[in-house]
Chain A
Amino acid sequence: MKNGHDFLIITNNPLVERCLGEYYSVEMFEEASYRDILVKVRDLVYASHTLYTHPLSGSVKPNETPYKSVVVSKVPHTFDPGEAEIIAYCIEAFDKFKPRGITLTDPVKRDFQLIDYTLICGAVDFDAAAGLSKIK
């Protein structure tokens, strides 16, 4: 597990909040879309927060999953144009996918939550399975 004192997880994924809330600062935006999360992260990066994880984590396409979690720093450090560029590219990448007009069933939603959760766990070196076993 990486030292997460400076981690702030920006997410709309309830599973991340439930499993990781105890260990990291999690800011949960229940109503936010995938894109909203990217935009929130962008604004934080603009405000000199460090971007710790790549916002397009996972090969699950942005119009496929509604869930997104990104780790940034709790407090501003120094503005990094490289990070600003990454998040900008991510928003652009998001926009090129067409909405699919699908209503996801609950099991599929849970699977997408799980994938997003495990990706973030991998990034911060957190034992995903252990986190899951605690909530069940």
Chain B
Amino acid sequence: MSYRVVHYINQFFANIGGEEMAHVAPELREGFVGPGLAFNQSWKGEAEIVATVVCGDSHFAEHEKEAQEQILAWVKELNPDLFIAGPAFNAGRYGYACATIANAVKEQLGIKVLTGMYEENPGADLKDKILIVPTANSAAGMRKAAPAMAKLALKLMKGEKLGASCEDNYMPNGIRVNFFEKERGSKRAVKMLLNKLADKPFVTEYPMPSFDRVAPNPAVKDLSKATIALCTSGGIVPKGNPDHIESSSASHYGEYSIAGVEALCEATHETAHGGYDPVYANADANRVLPVDVMREFEREGKIGKLHDLFYTTVGNGTAVASAKKFAAEYAQKLLQAGVNAVIMTST
């Protein structure tokens, strides 16, 4: 019995048409369509595309929620061993759609997923969440991309242990995996140095973290219409710390409602922070999370709305904190909730 695969492609690769047909709504076709043939050939019967989802790129971008719901329903029904999307090469909206829908299938249905695209495709932003095979920057790279994706796809379906990104050919996803190189480290170091000295390209085996600067987002145009959220790394939690956010080692973040709360007070909120002297924050948590002032501004109409939820982390409170991944997660929630700006306070 061969593994069952569902494939996602856009209108162009389904031969419906180019930009002028990018509005087409998702449809489900039986078997493979277009590039799916190349996957099937590579799998040599070990796996097979049972259905193909075709969706216009503009449609996905403009009706993401509906399109996603529809596609998820189909995939759920088909319950394949793997969901594969693309490859999208350098097509930005297609890449975004591939990555987004693959991520949704993985998160919501727990089905294994894989996509492929050019490294600079905006869809590749999700490379820490889903496996993405790097491809050339145009569809001319299909002949290489399809077998590469097919190979990794088969490995995933067989449940084999994933090797390092350079071994199994996926974009580095922030998870370090050991493997044996062909040459010992010192020899690799000498080669790397010689390349560096000759101004030839070289690839570091460990890219230094946290030096990527994120460019500032545009300013809020009209505060009086903006929803603003409060976040803190100062560990403000409801009294009694219901989720047991640890005072020393922050293993999760807190998400708490302040809907209808006019101001924090000693009876309702405290800090779970183990570091600094907690007396001041416990006596008046507004000193860390300024709910009282924000409410006044909301009443005055200076800001549109104070977001109903606030997010809190604790522990490190340090510069390069590992709380990073928590922030990445709740940032998505803030985004979906339509928050326009964030005030983050740190102790």
Let me know if chains A and B touch directly in the complex, using CB atoms closer than 8 Å: yes
Contact of B321 among A36, A43, A84, A92 (CB under 8 A): A92
Scan residues 21-73 of chain A and give those whose CB is less than 8 A from a CB of chain B: 33, 35-36, 39-40, 42-43
Contact of B274 among A36, A84, A92, A95 (CB under 8 A): A36
Given contacts A35-B248, A35-B249, contact A91 B318 (CB under 8 A): yes
Output the least CB separation between A32 and chain B (Å).
10
How many A-B pairs have beta carbons closer than 8 Å: the answer is: 36
Residues of the B chain whose Cβ atoms lie less than 8 Å from the Cβ of A125: none
Scan residues 304-347 of chain B and give those whose CB is less than 8 A from a CB of chain A: 315-316, 318-322
Alpha-carbon distance between A33 and B275 when the two chains are bound, in angstroms: 12
A85 contacts chain B at the CB level, 8 A cutoff: yes
Evaluate contact between B275 and A92: CB separation under 8 angstroms. no
A16 contacts chain B at the CB level, 8 A cutoff: no
Among residues of B, the one whose C-beta sits closest to the C-beta of A46 is B276
Among residues of B, the one whose C-beta sits closest to the C-beta of A96 is B322
Scan residues 83-100 of chain A and give those whose CB is less than 8 A from a CB of chain B: 84-85, 87-89, 91-92, 95-96
Evaluate contact between B275 and A88: CB separation under 8 angstroms. no
Given contacts A39-B248, A95-B249, contact A88 B316 (CB under 8 A): yes
Alpha-carbon distance between A87 and B315 when the two chains are bound, in angstroms: 13
Residues of the B chain whose Cβ atoms lie less than 8 Å from the Cβ of A87: 318
Residues of the A chain whose Cβ atoms lie less than 8 Å from the Cβ of B318: 42, 87-88, 91-92
Residues of the B chain whose Cβ atoms lie less than 8 Å from the Cβ of A85: 319-320
Output the least CB separation between B288 and chain A (Å).
15
Alpha-carbon distance between A88 and B323 when the two chains are bound, in angstroms: 12
Evaluate contact between B320 and A88: CB separation under 8 angstroms. yes
- Chain B interface residue count, CB cutoff 8 Å, equals 12
Residues of the A chain whose Cβ atoms lie less than 8 Å from the Cβ of B322: 92, 95-96
Evaluate contact between A39 and B274: CB separation under 8 angstroms. yes
Judged by DSSP, the binding face of B is loop
Given contacts A42-B318, A89-B320, A91-B316, contact A36 B248 (CB under 8 A): yes
Contact of B275 among A43, A84, A89, A96 (CB under 8 A): A43
Residues of the A chain whose Cβ atoms lie less than 8 Å from the Cβ of B319: 84-85, 88-89
Output the least CB separation between A99 and chain B (Å).
9
User: Hey, what's the 0/1 contact readout for A1-37 against B, CB within 8 Å counting as 1?
Assistant: 0000000000000000000000000000000010110
Residues of the B chain whose Cβ atoms lie less than 8 Å from the Cβ of A89: 319-320
Q: Which of B249, B275, B315, B322 has the most CB of A within 10 A?
A: B275
Among residues of A, the one whose C-beta sits closest to the C-beta of B275 is A39
Among residues of B, the one whose C-beta sits closest to the C-beta of A47 is B276
Residues of the B chain whose Cβ atoms lie less than 8 Å from the Cβ of A96: 322
Evaluate contact between A92 and B249: CB separation under 8 angstroms. no
Residues of the A chain whose Cβ atoms lie less than 8 Å from the Cβ of B320: 85, 88-89, 92
Evaluate contact between A92 and B316: CB separation under 8 angstroms. yes
Output the least CB separation between B161 and chain A (Å).
20
Evaluate contact between B276 and A33: CB separation under 8 angstroms. no
Given contacts A88-B319, A92-B316, contact A43 B276 (CB under 8 A): yes
Alpha-carbon distance between A96 and B320 when the two chains are bound, in angstroms: 13
Q: Which of A42, A43, A91 has the most CB of B within 10 A?
A: A91
Alpha-carbon distance between A68 and B320 when the two chains are bound, in angstroms: 22
Residues of the B chain whose Cβ atoms lie less than 8 Å from the Cβ of A91: 316, 318
Residues of the A chain whose Cβ atoms lie less than 8 Å from the Cβ of B276: 43
Given contacts A39-B275, A42-B275, A43-B275, contact A33 B321 (CB under 8 A): no
Alpha-carbon distance between A39 and B235 when the two chains are bound, in angstroms: 14
Alpha-carbon distance between A89 and B321 when the two chains are bound, in angstroms: 8
Q: Please give me the 10 A-B residue pairs with the lowest Cβ-Cβ distance, nearest first.
A: A88-B318, A88-B319, A39-B275, A91-B318, A35-B248, A91-B316, A43-B276, A88-B320, A92-B322, A43-B275
List 7 additional A-B contacts (Cβ < 8 Å) besides A33-B248, A43-B276, A92-B318: A35-B248, A36-B248, A39-B274, A40-B275, A88-B319, A89-B319, A95-B315
> Could you list 16 examples of A-B contacts with CB < 8 Å?
A33-B248, A36-B248, A36-B274, A42-B318, A84-B319, A85-B319, A85-B320, A87-B318, A88-B320, A89-B320, A91-B318, A92-B320, A92-B321, A92-B322, A95-B315, A96-B322
